[in-house]
Amino acid sequence: MQKLAPADLYSLEQYARQRGEFRAQVLDHKRRRRIAVGPSTTWCFEDRLTIQYQVQEMLRAERIFEPDGIAEELEAYNPLIPDGRNWKVTLLIEFPEAEERRVELQKLKGIENRCWVQAGGCARVFAIADEDLERENEEKTSAVHFLRFELPPETISALRAGSDLALGVDHDQYRYAVDAVPRAVRDALTADLS
């Protein structure tokens, strides 16, 4: 997938006019790119459109319109766009109550490295996590992680041939899997692969 350039973005004024329609389009698109894995994690598979939305929202919230500021945002977010041989995922670890979240995030240290995807009879592919900065400390893991799944050619071939896609987490304190990702989601993710 092609990275975003300043010319791909709406100006703040254009975005103000188009935000409602664009937001509805992106939210519909994201529905085919989100998977709950167990009761407490959600995987959001990113692509060029989801990242454009994040950048537009950041520019809007921070009122950034200078070229240098826009370039900084693109530099921060462009690495989250997959390149056709991988998937990029925002992993959300969700517990509604603050105290429960604090306790559970202590137990789940290292969870980001135990996330996997698997096509058909191919080997599991484990995530490469948080390449931009460390999101875990001595006490707990973060509630948000950024994952990259580097897919071997046989996995890509299996997906293109219609193989089922499974994904899951294999952590001592959190073992859940989705044995067959819904077809619409699998098809959207397979379309990301060049």
130 with 60, same domain: the answer is no
Cα–Cα distance between 51 and 56 in angstroms, integer? 9
114 with 167, same domain: the answer is yes
Query: Which residues form the domain of 40?
Result: 33-46+83-194
68 with 141, same domain: the answer is no
Q: Closest Cα partner for 190 from 87, 91, 114, 55?
A: 87
**What is the number of domains present in the chain?**
2
CB 112 within 8 A of CB 91: yes
16 with 76, same domain: the answer is yes
Q: Closest Cα partner for 38 from 170, 193, 182, 161?
A: 170
Q: What is the pLDDT of residues 1-55, one digit of tens each?
A: 799 999 999 999 999 999 999 999 999 999 999 999 999 999 999 999 999 999 9
Does the pTM surpass 0.85? The reply is yes
Q: What is the pLDDT of residues 75-86, one digit of tens each?
A: 999 999 999 999
CATH of the domain at 144: 2.60.40
Cα–Cα distance between 27 and 33 in angstroms, integer? 10
98 with 154, same domain: the answer is yes
Q: What is the pLDDT of residues 105-146, one digit of tens each?
A: 999 999 999 999 999 989 999 999 987 766 666 788 999 999
